[in-house]
Amino acid sequence: MELNALAIVILLALFGLWKLDFIATILNLKALSPDLPKEFADVFDGERYAQSQAYTRESARFEIIHSTASLFILLTFWLAGGFGWLDRFARDIAPGELPAGLVFLGLLFVGQMLTQLPFSIYDTFVIEEKFGFNKTTPKTFVIDQVKGLLLAALLGLPLAAGILWIFGHVANAWLWAWGFFVTFQLFLTWLAPTLILPLFNKFTPMADGPLRQAIEAMARKCGFPLGEISVMDGSKRSTKANAFFTGFGKNKKIALYDTLVEEQTQGELVAVLAHEIGHFKLKHIVQRLAVSIVQAAVLFYLLGLVIGGGAFSRMLFDAFGVEIISAHVGLVLFALLFAPVSRLLGIAANAWSRKHEFEADAFAAKATGEPESLVTALKKLSAKNLSNLTPHPFRVFLDHSHPPVLVRIKALRAL
């Protein structure tokens, strides 16, 4: 590798991003208060609250170790000439630009997965186990990893092959690659509820009864085209609870974790789902999709410049010790180069998401006519998931897609 000006800028940026997260984590720990907020006295006792703070501390320590180790692995691979060596190795065993590109990306993906595997094991079987969340057996964990790897091969390789082929054979490649990527992404979104998600979890249609009737009545009231209500076996892996909806067009599907159904009252569950319906009715999903499509266009345009073969491309590839300018290496180097901008975009996206959460809360409160049902649902979820009730504003600013639960409750009460 050549330690040129661009290499120094990227190194400083990577260290800067790591330092930013480190500072946010330390501030988050200092913001922990030993006093339970009065709002949560009905769902937290002293022992449960102390446990939630211990969980936050344990997760923060793990986050620091994980991020430090990940940065160390990346820098070691980079400074030891790993990118150049891997590109040469791929070209030796798979002659031809496209086969070599797929081998390069595939080996890099598998290598990253293997380096992250010990952290995933520790998080699941030590931290989550210690605090009573983990229900994943070693067998389920192994099967999940194998399924994930096979799914990445079945879906990721065709996507990568299409993009690499376009950049190697088509004029205005960035535009066509962007179109191909967006089409593929929309196809996966359509495919996920019926083929991908059931590979990992069992979805059982909710039996007819008061809860199902109440959910259907709320959907009709809100003009939500509900096609299916399912209960997902989330307890197979964790005791944590959640709910979500999927589907395109007029066939929307709602899925509730079985752990959520067990803990929440009918009114609370309807309020949670009214919140999710609010995202749909307020066009949040469409807005986010539109922004992601535009953002992808910008990214592919910039990627086209990075691998265009000019002086900047040469400097970037020299910085990583790669001799031949190519689309497959360019994809990876562009991701590293773009990391600071991606972080800024993430901060903006999180701020926008928090605004959407307030709007969906307000929609749910109005639709149900019972803001307190959503308040109690949020409080129970916080206790169930051992949520940090007092996150530092800087941590929220950087990473939280949802406002702190106390802030959400205050906004709901103001309604």
**Interval 145-185: pLDDT, tens:** 999 999 999 999 999 999 999 998 998 999 999 999 999 99
User: How many degrees, rounded to 5, is the angle at CA 290 between CA 313 and CA 253?
Assistant: 125
The Cα–Cα gap between 245 and 235 comes to: 18
Flag whether pLDDT at 132 surpasses 70: yes
* Dihedral angle computed from the Cα positions of residues 291, 398, 115 and 195, in that order, rounded to the nearest 10 degrees: -40
Instruction: Of 34-48, 72-86, 234-248, 316-330, give the lowest mean pLDDT range.
Output: 234-248
Question: How large a percentage of the chain has pLDDT more than 70?
Answer: 98
Q: Is the pLDDT of residue 99 over 90?
A: yes
Greater pLDDT, 116 or 310:
116
Asked if 90 contacts 96 with a C-beta cutoff of 8 angstroms, the reply is no
How much is the pLDDT for 284?
94
Q: With bands split at pLDDT 50, 70 and 90, how would you rate the model's confidence at 191?
A: confident
HEC string of the chain?
A: CCCCHHHHHHHHHHHHHHHHHHHHHHHHHHCCCCCCCHHHCCCCCHHHHHHHHHHHHHHHHHHHHHHHHHHHHHHHHHHCCHHHHHHHHHHHHCCCHHHHHHHHHHHHHHHHHHHHHHHHHHHHHHHHHHCCCECCCHHHHHHHHHHHHHHHHHHHHHHHHHHHHHHHHCCCHHHHHHHHHHHHHHHHHHHHHHHHHHHCCCEEECCCCHHHHHHHHHHHHHCCCEEEEEEECHHHCECCCCEEEECCCCCEEEEEEHHHHHHCCHHHHHHHHHHHHHHHHCCHHHHHHHHHHHHHHHHHHHHHHHCCCCHHHHHHHHHCCCCCCCHHHHHHHHHHHCHHHHHHHHHHHHHHHHHHHHHHHHHHHHHHCCHHHHHHHHHHHHHHCCCCCCCCHHHHHHHCCCCCHHHHHHHHHHC
Query: Would residue 361 show up in a list of annotated catalytic residues for this protein?
Result: yes
**Tens of pLDDT, residues 44-83:** 988 999 999 999 999 999 999 999 999 999 999 999 999 9
Whether the per-residue pLDDT at 234 is higher than 90: the answer is no
Question: What are the Cα distances from residue 293, in Å, to 129, 247, 340?
Answer: 39, 18, 20
Nearest Cα neighbor of 185 from 164, 161, 156, 165 is 156
Q: Which of 276, 318, 323, 372 is catalytic?
A: 276
Please report the pLDDT score of residue 1 as a whole number. Answer: 67
Domain ranges of the chain: 5-184+286-350
pLDDT, average across residues 261-268: 87
Residue 65 CB coordination number (10 Å): 12
Using the predicted structure, report yes or no on whether residue 250 has a pLDDT greater than 70.
no
* Cβ-based neighbour number of residue 111 at 10 Å: 14
Average pLDDT, the chain: 91
Of 361, 370, 372, 399, the catalytic one is 361
Nearest CA-CA partner of 382 in 202, 242, 173: 242
Tell me what percent of the residues of the chain surpass a pLDDT of 90: 70
> What's the whole-number mean pLDDT along residues 321-330?
94
Lowest-confidence range among 47-56, 194-203, 325-334?
Answer: 194-203
With 80 as the cut, is the pLDDT of residue 358 above it?
A: yes
Q: Is 208 marked active-site?
A: no
